[in-house]
Amino acid sequence: MVGIAKEDDGHSELHLTQSGQVIGCSLVHPACFLVGTTFEGAMNAIGRGERASPMLLPAQDEVTLYGVTFRHGDEAVIGPAELA
């Protein structure tokens, strides 16, 4: 992944994957999130104020995003394997 921007008043960074997805990473707490499956889609989602999809990394049992704690099995959660 390559860092491409900061957002949310510098509270998170955006990264572009080799496949073109845009992943956000919080700089405040351990949380990653899928902003968009394409750069264009991610920029549109940010412009519309849409919430990103929470991601669980392999070592995580849960992640908190938007004040909600997400766990394995929650339908909103995206894992790294789903990005391939």
pTM: 0.87
Indicate if the pLDDT at residue 7 is higher than 90.
no
Residue in this structure with the two tokens 């669980």, named with its chain if needed:
56
pLDDT score for 38: 96
Residues 15-74: pLDDT tens digits? 999 999 999 999 998 899 999 999 999 999 999 999 999 999 888 899 999 999 999 889
More confident residue, 20 or 1: 20
- Using CB atoms within 10 Å of the CB of residue 22, give its burial: 0 to 12 exposed, 13 to 18 middle, 19+ buried: buried
Cα–Cα dist 49/32, whole Å: 17
